[in-house]
Amino acid sequence: MSRVVVVVGATSGIGRAAARAFAGRGDRLVLAARAPQTLAEVRTECAAAAEVLTVPTDVTTPGTLQALADAAVDRFGRIDVWVHAAAVTAYGRFDELPGQIFEQVVRTDLLAAAEAARVALRHFRATGAGTLILTGSVLGHITAPYLSAYVAAKWGLAGLTRVLQQELRDSPDIHVCLVNPGSVDTPVYQRAANHLGHVGRPPPPITTPQRVARAIVGCADRPRREVSVGRLNPLMRVGFTVLPGLYDALVGPLMRRLGLSDRPVAPHDGVLFVPDPASEAVSGGWLPDPAHLLRVAVGLPGTLGSRLWQRLW
């Protein structure tokens, strides 16, 4: 029997890639995000393979996540998997970042995730089973300058996840998983609030949102406490822990060289307070279209080339 999967943050980046991946498995989907028009687009993308309910949801508004759960149960009778992928970020030196920007990032990335966990786990406790998948970051285990709000939120989420896993030791059929990507080709960098003067970008090596989505689906199939997605994630964590002086000396110059572009930008709030449907997509354009390159290189038909690339990547 197909699962009932809630995906929060389903209109862009990792969340949208995950929605497509679960749809490909034939799971029944409850998709949530702020922009109704983009939710309708994602519903169309998934509806050929899956039954889909869309619920416009602003995760920072009190009560909306409980209303989302109620809508899912009203439609499908239960929730088997809850994926929380809603996230925003902001660039700026901590002392120059407006307080309301810092607070909104933490409210979205940590407090809303905590509320989603509360709602999902109460349902799973009542039914006796379920899997909660939270989207963390390698920046939940290391730090980088100019991303203070995001780092604070993701460190908090990593700690919360560990507590939840400890508290659920008496419930072996209820699982909490944390998926930690490194740099991912999503629009989150362009959509970030920015008070630093330069547009942010993902430092290499950059992975695809589809790869992170496969890790999320993998946790739904075979729950794991924590999954890292990114070739350099283990090395960065070791450097941060074992060689903190060297790490701190290098991370600033590397961030300015690799994590920021030369393109100047005036201060702005990004999508922190108001959604921008025009900027919502799976990919952020930081990588070339790999399926197209593969098709050109080896002359494969379009669908076959895309599938082969996904396996290779």
Higher pLDDT, 303 or 192: 192
For a pLDDT cut of 70, what percent of the chain falls above it?
A: 92
Instruction: Give the separation between CA 270 and CA 292, rounded to whole angstroms.
Output: 31
List, for residues 114-138, the tens digit of each pLDDT value.
Answer: 999 999 999 999 999 999 999 999 9
Q: What is the rounded average pLDDT of the residues 228-235?
A: 97
Amino acid at 100: Q
For a pLDDT cut of 90, what percent of the chain falls above it?
A: 91
150 is catalytic: yes
Confidence band (pLDDT; 50, 70, 90) for 288? confident
pLDDT of residue 1: 74
Q: From the CA atom positions of the chain, what is the Rg in Å?
A: 19
Q: Is residue 89 part of a domain?
A: yes
Range(s) of the domain holding residue 198: 4-282
Instruction: Give the separation between CA 243 and CA 199, rounded to whole angstroms.
Output: 29
Confidence band (pLDDT; 50, 70, 90) for 304? low
Instruction: Give the separation between CA 263 and CA 259, rounded to whole angstroms.
Output: 12
Q: Is residue 262 part of a domain?
A: yes
Q: Is residue 297 part of a domain?
A: no
Domain containing residue 29: CATH number: 3.40.50.720
Q: Is residue 299 part of a domain?
A: no
Q: Is residue 51 part of a domain?
A: yes
Interior angle at CA 288, CA 282 and CA 292, nearest 5:
90
Question: Based on the structure, what is the number of domains in the chain?
Answer: 1
Confidence band (pLDDT; 50, 70, 90) for 312? very low
Confidence band (pLDDT; 50, 70, 90) for 309? very low
In 3D space, the residue among 225, 251, 253, 227 whose CA is nearest the CA of residue 240 turns out to be 251
Q: Is residue 289 part of a domain?
A: no
Q: Is residue 256 part of a domain?
A: yes
Q: Is residue 174 part of a domain?
A: yes
pLDDT of residue 130: 98
Interior angle at CA 16, CA 164 and CA 313, nearest 5:
90
pTM: 0.92
